[in-house]
Each structure stands twice: as C-alpha cells, then as structure tokens.
Structure 1
Amino acid sequence: MTLRNDATPTDRARTIVTADPELDDLNSMIRFLLYSNEVDVAGLVYASSRFHWSGDGTTPFFLPEREYTEPQLSWRWAPGERFIDDAVDAYEQVLPNLLVHDPRYPSADALRAVVRMGNVQFEGDVSEETPGSQLIAETLLDDDPRPVHLQVWAGTSTIARALMSIEERYSQTPEWPEIHAAVSRKAVITKFASQDGSYDSYIRPVWPDIRVTDVATMAWGYLARRVIEQPELEYLGAEWMRDHVTSAGPLGALYRTWGDGRQMVPGDLTDYFHLSGQTADELRELGYAVWVEPQPLGEWISEGDTTNMLNLLVPGLRSHEHPGYGGWGGRARRVDEGPDAWETRGAADAAPDESAPDESAPDEYTVTRWFADAQNDFAARLQWSVQSTFGGANHAPVVAVEQVDRDVRPGEQVQLSAVVTDPDGDAVTVRWWQYREAGSYHGAVVLSGADSAAVVVTVPVDAVAGQTIHVIVEAVDDGVPALKGYQRVILTVV
C-alpha cells in the first residue's frame, strides 16, 4: 500500500524506511515524518541489526563483548518495542498544524497502515518471510514504475528476505530474467554501512545490478563533532537544541538529547546517553562501555541514519536522481563493489574560497556544506508543528526554472532564468553557483549575473561532447530561521 492523496504529485520520491530502535533512528524518524509531505511513504518497517535484535525468547546468543559474558535472549530490544508507532502518535497530535502549512501531509492512519514488523529476531536472520519483507516484495513487484528508495537504517536482512521471496517465487519460471532485471532497476538501496551480513552474503552476489549507496558518515551521527566545524557547531549545542527542537511540541519533546533521562533498554551498558555530568572514566566506573565522549546536558546526540533520507527531501536539488549529484545527504563516488555501487565517504568537494583559501576539501564536506541549511529547515518544520496559522512560521522560498535539462555547445552563452517567490513575502537573496564536482566538466565556468534571477553561463570552449555542467540557483529568505530553496540545472555538452 502506498500513501496517496489528490495533492500528491507522482514525481515525489517513493520510499520505504527500515529502522532499528537505536536512539538515533528515533531522532531520524522524527525528522522524516516532518518531511513526509515531500516523499511518497510506501513503508515504515521495524528491522534488526548487529546492534539490535529482539530474540525469539528461547534461543540464547553469546555476545563476545566483554561487558556481556552471559548468553543473551535479546540484544538492546525492549519488550513491545514501538518507537516508530510512538513517533507516528506524536505526529498525529501535531498533524492539524502541519496541514495548515502543507496539505500534502499524510494522515496518521495512512502512515500506520504501512508500518510493519520485519525480520527482527536475530542479526541477519532471513529464515522466513515477515510482514515487513512481504511489504517490500509487493512494492517492488507492483505496477508503479517509479524507483523505490529502500532506506537501510539498520541491517539489510528484511530487504534481503524480500528479494529472496521474489527469487523463490520466480527463479524457476520463464519470467525470471525479466523480473530480475525489472526489480534490479526499481530497487534503490541506501544503507548506513552493513549492519548485518545479508548484503554481502545475498544481495550483492544475487542482485548485483541494484543501485546501492553506502551513506555512512560521521556528519549526522554520534561522531558529528569530528567533522562539523564553527559556526555550524552551534546546531549541536544545548541552547540551539532547546530553543529550536526539544521545546517544539510533541515531536520535539520526543527527540533525544544528552542527559534526558531516557534509556533505550534498562540496563544497557552501551547506552549512557541518558546521563549527564559524568566524565568518561566515571561512566566506566559505573560499568558502562564508553564509545562516544559524553557531552553536556541537552546537547545533540545523533541522527546517524539521516543521510539515508536527506537527498530525497529537496526536489529542486535533484539529488535523488543520481548518487553523484550531491545534496543535503552528501555526494557519492563510484566504488568497485558492483556495476552500480556508490559510497559517500571518500567523495571530496572543495570548500569555497572564503572558508578555505587553498581550496582544500574538508573531511565529509559533501555533507557538511549543507548542514546549516538542513538544520534551519528542520527547525522551521518543528515550528510548523506547533503553529496553527500559516503566518506563524517561516517557509522556504520556491524556485522554478522552466528548463532544468539543456543541451549546450562549447563556447555558447546560455541564459538561465529563475522565478523565485516566497510564501511569506520575505525578502529573498538569489545566487547561482556551479557545483563543479557534480558535473563531469570539472573546470570553472563563467557565470555572469550570478547574484540575480537571470544568469548567463558561458560554456567553456574546451568542453567536450557528453560532459555535464551542474548549475544551482539558490534563494535564501530573511525569515527566522533563514530558509533556502533551490533548483539544479544540468547542461549537457553536445
């Protein structure tokens, strides 16, 4: 079942989220629901990983971690776990306000209708079909021709089981080559690393043509402070989190921050994020396995899996069209793990001159360059959730360019015009810029009038047929917080 309503355009990215009950998955789920107007939500599936599984209640598993010397019946999975349902319940409370700001938000019941339990008993378990794996298989086989963006916030076992079911059903039939090819084209997997073995043991060898992008980065996770630099570190601070997130209604109150007194599973020795005021050594003395340095009360903890979703949320950036385009979730590079395998880590973007005069490429800058934009937009949407009038919160400018794909010739001067409107009547500043790393022509391109709604792009005379030039028009308003709208134009040299 896919969520649809009359206001839903068919070009919205269609997606299924698979997630385990890590606190960062809860935080990512809160963000995702605030953007459920921008995507077509086909499924919200509970999944397991090597870090979280429910067990079957009878089979003990021995964990090699020194803190757990006794066999475990389950691993960091609370009885009756319902973090997705809790997030949808909070969403339901604020839905009347959200609909004031965008009528495309789905109902809470429509979201609940696509919540499923996946393969959660053990890490990597694909021994049987589950409601979650069946939903994924049915979606991949349905008549909707759009790609299905399968977000892996946990392990891949539920997706692997879905693909196994398709193989079991069709592999001995004449239709198998056609179905295998069609599913391989339709499924688009983004994963935060491989949190169980089912990708390497099954998906990669049996379904090698599925596009897979590994989006594991530090920038949105527990280690964000290693790559986020000033002034963006403000967005991880307790004051910003309190003023813009945790104080913003039911969804904000559900969001996890350091020292909030909530623990995922009572007694979990790897989860000390509910505490504050202790040093790492003091936490170790209490028996905790300290794997992330403790932070002050109220600060950001993690949204590690958010890189799975971010490139689906900003249609104008078109970053969901190809892993190499780049957007809020980063830009990926090809890796030698299959014919269509990509990885965000290791892709490099040069920083703008004002922040790095030597044009260095800071670690994970393909992601961090957008961090402030994404956080400000998140803060605005949390305000949507508590403001019952349209004028009570800010909304991003809307940017439109009539032709976003154009054929050009070397030496040609190409005029591009954007129509920019602001829903709140705010003043808007416009700039055009070349995303050099996203295109296959990597040299600098002259943009005349880059600070106006119309720009003239001079195609370099040394550009050769087949090369692409990516130009982005960006509009920022003077609202609070300041928000951005975008449109990417791709010029292809012929």
Structure 2
Amino acid sequence: MLRMLLYSNEINLVGLVYSASQHHYLGDPAIGLAPHRWPVPGARLHIDEAVDAYAEVYPNLVQHDANYPTPAHLRSLIRTGNIVNVGDMAADTPGSDLIKEVLLDDEPGQVFLQAWGGPNTIARALKSIEDEYRGTPQWDEIYQKVVDKAVLTSFGQQDTTFATYIKPNWPDLQNREVATSIWGYGSRGVAKPADAFYHSPEWTKANVSDVGPMGAAYRVWGDGKQMAAGFDDEDYFGLSGYTADELRAMGYLVWTPPQAKGSWISEGDSSNFALLIDNGLRNWQDPRWGGWGGRQIVSPTDPNRWSNRGALDADETGATPRDYPAARWFSDFQNDFAARMQWTVKGVDETNHAPRTCVAQGLDLTRRPGQPVVLNPRATDRDGDAVTVEWWQYREAGTYPGTVELTTNPGGVTRFRVPADAQPGQTIHLIMEATDDGTPALTHYQRVVVTVADQRDPMGPGGPGGCAQN
C-alpha cells in the first residue's frame, strides 16, 4: 500500500476497498465466528494507516508532481467491502457498490480490479450487476460492457469465489495471475545475485525504514509488530534473533526462513499495481508483454486466463531462471522506490527523478520483411543528469521467434532490418532503457512494437508515442 501510494500520481485510483480472504476476516460473534487476523473494533485499519502516513508527506510529494492526489481524495475512495468471512459475498456492501458503480459508468478505458486478498467483494459487485440486469433487454449489452472494461488481477486465489461464481457467470472476463516470486516471501530465491543487497537491513534501513513517516510505517523483519493481537503461529515477522528451530520451540510454524532484523519481508501485491506504472513499458496493455508487474502466458484451455507461472525469459547467459520475467526489473523498481521515498522528505533540487523519453518514429510501427527500421530516441532529465541509452530485443514478448541484430550508435539511435523470414502479423519488441547517473540511478523505458506487414500492405505512420506528442 505504501509503495502504491508513492505511484498514485501515475495511477488513476478509483477505489480502495477492504475485503476478506482466507488469511484475514472480521468474523461474526452472532454466528460464533471469531475474527482472524483482524484488528480489534475501533482500530485503524491498514489502508487508512497508509493514507495517514501519505498525508504527512503529501506537502512534500506534491512539490515533485502536482498530480499526486490529495489525502482527502484518497480517503474519499476508501470503502468497506465484504469482510465477515472467507468468500463472503452474501450482501451488497459499500465496497461492492463502489465497484459496481465504476464498472457501469461511462468513463473510457479499462478498470483493473486488483484482488490483493480474496476476490469476494469483486464477486459481490458482479453478482449485484447480474441480479439487476440478467433477464432484461439490457443484459447482453451490460455483460459485454463489463467484460470489455474489467481486468481482474490477483496474487493467488485467496478464496473460492473466482472459481465458484466469477468464472462460471462471467467467463469472458480477463484474469491475470501475478503471483511473482520476486515480490513475495520467496524473493531471495529468485533475485539476481547482484540484486541480493536490496533485501538487506542496510539497504532497507538507509532507503526506506529511516526515511520519514512512510518509512516508519513500512514493515520489516524484527520490527516488533504483529498483524493482529494474540498469538498467531504463522506471524513471527516482528521477532528477531531467533533461529527457525527456536521459533518452532516457541510454537510457530516456520513456513519461510527468518531473516536479519530490519531486512525486507515481502510486497507480494506490488506486482498487481506495478503493471500499471507509466514507465514506458506499457505493461498493462497486453499480459504477454511483460514489465515491472511480470509477464503472463495464456492458459492452454482458457483464452481469458493468464498466469505468470510458467512464463520464461532468457537472461544474458541464455538460461531461463525462475520468475526472471519479473526479477529482471527488481533493481530498477527498488531504485525508483528509494528515490520516491526521498521525495517524501526532501525538495525537488535535493532528489533524483527518472529521465523522460520518447522515440521520434513512434511506438507502434509496421514494416515489411527486409525493410530497415531506424529508431531515434530522445531523453531529457529534469535534474540535469547525464543519460545513457541502451536498446535490446525482448524476444519473449514478441511473436517473431528469431533474433534481430541491433546496431546502436553512441547517441542511442538504433537500427535493424526486419528479417526476411518474418511472417505477416508477427511482432518484434524493442526495449529502450534510458538511465541517468543520479543517486540512485533511475531508468525510464520505451517499448517499440514492430508488426510485420504483408509485402502489399501500405506503410502508415508510426502511431502514438512520437516525440512531437510527448
């Protein structure tokens, strides 16, 4: 939540909704259901706590970008959804009503329904729409409007409502599974060796924990905090100085290895919103394209279900390490986070900001086999830092199975020729990385997609993204 709020200047947030999951729910004394990892009545809940921390630093953040929403606006988006029990979708709630309202409005563009817990409140909103319109003359139109508009993203299925309600009744709704290991508790097992220090107490303390109110609110190993009051045999994150065996002797189920005090824990759901960040990778545009939120592949049995599980990217050695489609971006995203944390406590002239980039020819090009492609990037840096530009082919994101030979000059202009064996309709993805020499070094990207045309097709303009439009 804290990291997402630092990107709220680039993501159009329209709702922040509490929901239940198999890992946390309110309970109901009337039916003898005890709460599970839910704060005591009257306690401040985690979305509100995160917005409170944001409110303290908002006057500083807005100096860096006027698009940061006010704390009052963010608070106006907070709703309580279906929280009583795992999979609760028994009745409409303020949270489900808000989701329903957003899905039925006439605002253009997609809506990303991000289930950071269970999708049950989303399921309730969809059921409310179905209950109102199924059997009416408007139903077919409403159904198509919702499935065209909504994309459900989730880090695992934390209740059964997707399987039992959403999929059977809304089969055409796109679902992207973003359970990336690099942002989960297994991050240390998939991070590149050069990136291991981002998990360390030293990096975390210097760049996050010691940086203002938002850093103070950020959970780290051994911080003495608990998810909720009382003994929880799975919640030992707040403890430090104990071995796994010692924790077991204390009654804990040690399901992930304890780490050094002050080190990084996990941000599993960061991959949900990371795909929406406007960093030039256009991660949201197509699940197979990849970016900070990972890359997904389609289910062999369902064209509307996508998962990062099984998606493979080759590293510089040609190997395909586990979760590399997400782990390859870890250092860039961590550095960007560290810079934004500095924005919360320092002025514009004291901090670093990512370069801004464009490609003169546009971002979506059409070329015939054998035709040359020239890409002329431009990069500016508001801090006056030097910017280095590099290009590479993202083979796994494209559908042309071969490799193109890029020739890039010192100014960053790159050239290649569409291979003669490329077939009409195939795509070639080129990623431009523009990295400044500030502290920390920050990277902005541009993705150029070249679609192979038939020899008889006329060549049109380059499409959106040309520098004149930026």
Superposition pairs of residues 6-405 of structure 1, within 5 angstroms: 29-61=1-33, 73-79=34-40, 80-267=43-230, 268-336=232-300, 338-352=302-316, 356=317, 359-387=318-346, 389-402=347-360, 403-405=362-364
Deviation at 1:187, TM superposition (A): 0.4
Q: Deviations over 1:167-196 (max 9, x none)?
A: 001002101011101100100011011100
Q: 1:305 to 1:265 in 2, by over 3 A?
A: same
8 A contact 1:422–1:428 mirrored in 2: yes
Letter of the aligned partner of 2:174 in structure 1?
R
Distance 1:241 1:339 in 2: 40
Residue 335 of structure 2 aligns to a residue whose secondary structure is helix
Residue 181 of structure 2 aligns to a residue whose secondary structure is coil
Q: 1:38 to 1:192 in 2, by over 3 A?
A: same
Distance 1:448 1:206 in 2: 51
Q: Deviations over 1:135-163 (max 9, x none)?
A: 00100000102100111110010000000
Q: 1:431 to 1:36 in 2, by over 3 A?
A: same
Deviation at 1:226, TM superposition (A): 1.3
Letter of the aligned partner of 1:430 in structure 2?
V
8 A contact 1:435–1:470 mirrored in 2: yes
Distance 1:457 1:190 in 2: 36
TM-score by length of 2: 0.94
Please name the residue that 2:383 is paired with.
424
Residue 114 of structure 2 aligns to a residue whose secondary structure is strand
Which stretch of structure 1 is more off in the superposition, 316-325 or 399-408? Answer: 399-408
Residue 414 of structure 2 aligns to a residue whose secondary structure is strand
8 A contact 1:328–1:367 mirrored in 2: yes
8 A contact 2:192–2:328 mirrored in 1: no
8 A contact 1:473–1:487 mirrored in 2: yes
Distance 1:308 1:280 in 2: 31
Deviation at 1:48, TM superposition (A): 0.6
Residue 470 of structure 1 aligns to a residue whose secondary structure is strand
8 A contact 2:370–2:418 mirrored in 1: yes
Distance 1:278 1:315 in 2: 40
Identity %: 51
Which stretch of structure 1 is more off in the superposition, 477-486 or 401-410? Answer: 401-410
Distance 1:379 1:171 in 2: 48
Q: Deviations over 1:18-76 (max 9, x none)?
A: xxxxxxxxxxx000000000110001111110010011233234xxxxxxxxxxx1111
Deviation at 1:340, TM superposition (A): 1.4
Matched, 1:469 2:450: no
Distance 2:192 2:335 in 1: 16
Deviation at 1:164, TM superposition (A): 0.2
Deviation at 1:291, TM superposition (A): 1.0
8 A contact 1:431–1:450 mirrored in 2: no
8 A contact 1:191–1:308 mirrored in 2: yes
Distance 2:300 2:116 in 1: 23
Deviation at 1:451, TM superposition (A): 5.1
Distance 2:196 2:72 in 1: 37
Matched, 1:456 2:415: yes
Superposition RMSD in Å = 1.1
Distance 1:81 1:47 in 2: 15
8 A contact 1:433–1:450 mirrored in 2: no
Distance 1:417 1:57 in 2: 65
8 A contact 1:151–1:191 mirrored in 2: yes
Deviation at 1:276, TM superposition (A): 0.2
Distance 2:301 2:211 in 1: 43
8 A contact 1:470–1:490 mirrored in 2: yes
Residue 451 of structure 2 aligns to a residue whose secondary structure is strand
TM-score by length of 1: 0.89
8 A contact 2:57–2:345 mirrored in 1: yes
Distance 1:360 1:464 in 2: 27
8 A contact 2:176–2:306 mirrored in 1: yes
Please name the residue that 2:463 is paired with.
none
8 A contact 1:432–1:450 mirrored in 2: no
Q: Unpaired runs of 5+ in structure 2?
A: 454-470
Distance 1:247 1:74 in 2: 33
8 A contact 2:279–2:444 mirrored in 1: no
Distance 1:115 1:218 in 2: 28
Q: Unpaired runs of 5+ in structure 1?
A: 1-28, 62-72
Q: Deviations over 1:439-472 (max 9, x none)?
A: 0002111212165332112111100100001111
Letter of the aligned partner of 1:224 in structure 2?
S
Residue 420 of structure 1 aligns to a residue whose secondary structure is strand
* Alignment partner of 1:490 out of 449, 453, 457: 449
* Alignment partner of 1:443 out of 402, 406, 420: 402
